[in-house]
Amino acid sequence: MESWKKTIYVSWGIIFLHGAGMSMFAPFLPLYVKELGITEPKMQSIWSGMLIGAAPLFAGLMAPLWGTVSDKYGRKPLILRTTLGISIVAALMYLSTNVYQLLALRIVQGICGGVIPAFTALLALNLPQDKTGQGLGTMQSAIYSGTIIGPFIGGLLADLLGYRNVFLVISSLTLIAGLATFIVIHEPKRDPSSTRATVFNNMKLVLASPNLRMATIAIFFIQFTLFFIQPILPLFVVSLSGGERSATMVGLVFAITGFSTVLFAPYWGRTGDRKGHSQVLSRSLLFAGLFFFPQALVTSVYQLLPLRAVIGFFIAGIVPSTQTMIVKNTKDSQRGGVLGITHAVHSLGHALGPLVGGIVAAVTGFRSAIVLTSVLLIVIWYFFRNFIRKPATGPPD
């Protein structure tokens, strides 16, 4: 087997373990909050929201710094530091006795972040230029796989082992991911003096480069729009199902989108390598927007399911394409820092989209919010179409 293929397969397993471990607690977190003494339902909801959002928020804030550090001292050391830190934090969560301790640990967990930008930069370094899209598409499928399967495994283990013991499983999985990185993944030796980039310099680079600037802006608006209906989709599904097996139906709607994304992300990566990632991004944005609109017209969950599968198909072409375009327009010596900045922008869009979408849906209704999502995606495609159709010009000097 060619070494780059081995790298892709091993990377898939490592990122899957990391993603599954980080998402396992999601289904039982509100129940765990109750166990820690928060018994009032409204406060359980508030605390659950804070606990879920704390780690991604701080991970996004810290991503530019950790990306820059990885450029100077190596991506592999950063990944090892991150996985070890998260493993220790998860073990400490097992010992937490109140929600304040748990929130503090979730913040530390976010501060310890930086795996995805560092792994993206490291994987790009180990791939042939004409296989970059395929590799990053496969990595994207690993992220989605972990976050889809992780909550299912977490809920199952919570029933079998109890809430606290799941944190020990999370700690173990993250540690295994780190050990696998240490043993299998190779990073060429680098001279720490070869890059003097700082977070500020990386931000200047992103702003000065038309390709990087436009790609970063596109990433924000794409993530904002894709997560716009996230908070109202479960409520919309419940309204369609009439309360019959609502939880199962909600899970099925989310799962079919996720599995479709997982299945087709490598395909879009290979297509981008052959035909151009800008073409893949353009088509994926346009058709995602077009297929969002019919969701506002459905009258049953069974009509919604195939549309969500199609949406997953096109989402699979959006994220890997933007990541590959960033990689191809950035020097290796600054790639981690630039990916850290785009990851921070990605997290900001992820955070603001559901917030604004929930408010819009409360004012205009579920179906109007879905129509607006369709319109936003088409507007993004229209606004960025001239830029994203241009071939990558390579990293700036």
Q: What is the spatial distance between Cα 104 and Cα 215, in angstroms, rounded to a whole number?
A: 34
Are the C-beta atoms of 177 and 14 separated by less than 8 Å?
A: yes
Q: What is the spatial distance between Cα 177 and Cα 167, in angstroms, rounded to a whole number?
A: 15
Q: What is the spatial distance between Cα 225 and Cα 372, in angstroms, rounded to a whole number?
A: 9
pTM of the model: 0.71
Tokens of 106: 């979730």
pLDDT per residue of the chain (397 residues) written in tens, 0 to 9: 566 777 777 778 888 887 777 777 766 776 788 888 887 877 776 787 778 777 777 888 888 888 888 878 788 888 888 889 989 999 999 998 898 999 999 899 888 877 777 777 777 777 777 777 777 777 777 777 777 777 777 777 887 888 889 889 889 988 888 888 888 877 776 655 555 678 888 888 888 888 788 888 888 898 888 878 876 777 788 788 775 556 567 767 877 887 888 888 888 888 888 888 788 888 899 999 999 999 999 998 889 999 999 998 998 888 778 877 887 778 777 777 888 888 888 878 877 887 788 788 878 888 998 999 999 999 999 887 766 555 444 554 4
3-class SS at 110?
helix
- Domains of the chain are 1-184 (1.20.1250.20), 196-397 (1.20.1250.20)
Residue 242 burial (10 A CB sphere; 0-12, 13-18, 19+):
exposed
Helix (H) or strand (E) holding 308: helix 301-328
Query: Phi and psi of 27, rounded to 5°?
Result: -70, -25
